[in-house]
A = this chain, B = another copy of it.
Amino acid sequence: MTQHRIALIPGDGIGAEVLPPACAVLDLVGKRHGLTFGYDEFDWSCARYLNEGAMMPADGLDRIRRHDAILLGAVGWPCVPDHVSLWGLLIPIRRLFRQYVNLRPITVLDGVPSPLRHAASGAVDFVVVRENVEGEYSEIGGRLNRGFPEEMAVQEAVFTRAGVSRVLDHAFRLAASRRGGITSATKSNGIVHTMPFWDELVAEYAARYPEVDCGQEHIDALVAKIVLDPGRFDVIVGSNLFGDILSDLAAAVAGSIGIAPAANLNPEGEFPSMFEPVHGSAPDIAGQGIANPIGAIWSASMMLDHLGHPEAAGEVMAAVRTVLADTAVRTPDLGGTASTDDFTRAVLDALP
């Protein structure tokens, strides 16, 4: 019997509605594989901020530092500014736990139509590897002459050799374990200091991994190619900002942001990694019991994989695929009438 301690952070809105399905799936698949999960739930959220003035307690990170992994629902709520909710919870976890790889698999699933005419299920299967702790998301910068005609703001993007190298290494390894292709997102024709540096490091890793076929595309051309020919990609690696843009675009290409999962990995296992659906807290449908739990369940499957249980992870995704391909059970965002519970039950029934 292997026991894993999981920190649950439902967060806001539908976050609290999609984590219970993920846990139910984990518990059931765990039975077949000799795994048990102990969950500790934390109420860190915008609601907590409004009551107590902080998204999480001052020693929050210490309380989850020894957990095997973190499952997060969604962070953000209308009356709380994003810079409070995100920089008070999501971004510190990514940074202080050195989750420098953000991984987002993109697959067109049978039964979830892509908005693209030519993206048949099975034909699109790639992963966006995003640098997750430095780059364009930097607290360095500021404002001058506030309110005056000469007012200006500057923002520093910071790329370090160590920071870029470790995420490239992860991406090249991943490409080698898949179909052997990698595409680097750049913009060295316009962003003249950081992006040429990024390109140089990509060239170093391309030389180190001769078995990987490495190409690069400027971000503007790349977003166009993802729409015109998404089947050509295997692994796409990009900076914090480019990876963010590419992964949401790719989720749309796969038919819905509601089903996309994400892993925030600390590959060394020095700190817990965090798994979260890509969708937000969805105030418009929160509380109605109709949120799509696929993003959370898929994120849980990525967590199983990360914890060393690829077979269990595969069974979870096979069950989701079966429900989508063989039944009409779907939440409203995918055109169905099923509730979160209905869909979850169907997945549980489809597990071996």
Contact = CB atoms under 8 A, between A and B. Distances in A.
A193 B143 contact: yes
Contact of A152 (B155, B161, B223): B161
B249 A141 contact: no
Contacts of A228: 115, 252
Nearest to A260: B224
A155 B151 CA distance: 20
A102 B15 CA distance: 40
6 contacts: A141-B193, A143-B193, A149-B162, A153-B197, A219-B245, A221-B248
Nearest to A165: B149
Contact of A136 (B142, B158, B191, B252): B191
A189 interface: yes
A220 interface: yes
B249 A227 contact: yes
Given A115-B116, A142-B193, A155-B159, 20 more contacts: A113-B117, A116-B116, A116-B117, A116-B227, A137-B190, A149-B162, A150-B160, A153-B194, A154-B157, A154-B158, A154-B159, A154-B193, A155-B157, A190-B244, A220-B248, A223-B223, A224-B252, A227-B252, A227-B253, A245-B245
Contacts of A247: 220
A130 to B, nearest CB: 11
A241 interface: yes
A220 to B, nearest CB: 4
A83 B219 CA distance: 16
A55 to B, nearest CB: 14
A257 interface: yes
Interface residues of A, number: 62
A189 to B, nearest CB: 4
Give the number of copies in the complex. Answer: 2
B158 A196 contact: no
Given A137-B190, A189-B82, A249 B249 contact: yes
B227 A197 contact: no
Contact of A251 (B87, B189, B224): B224
Contacts of A197: 143, 151, 153
B191 A155 contact: yes
A39 B105 CA distance: 52
A188 interface: yes
Q: A114, A224, A252: which has the most chain B beta carbons within 10 Å?
A: A224
A346 interface: no
B241 A191 contact: yes
A284 interface: no
Interface string A243-277: 01101110111000100000000000000000000
With most chain B CB atoms within 10 A of its CB, the pick from A145, A160, A245 is A245
Nearest to A119: B115
A192 B162 CA distance: 23
Contacts of A196: 83, 153
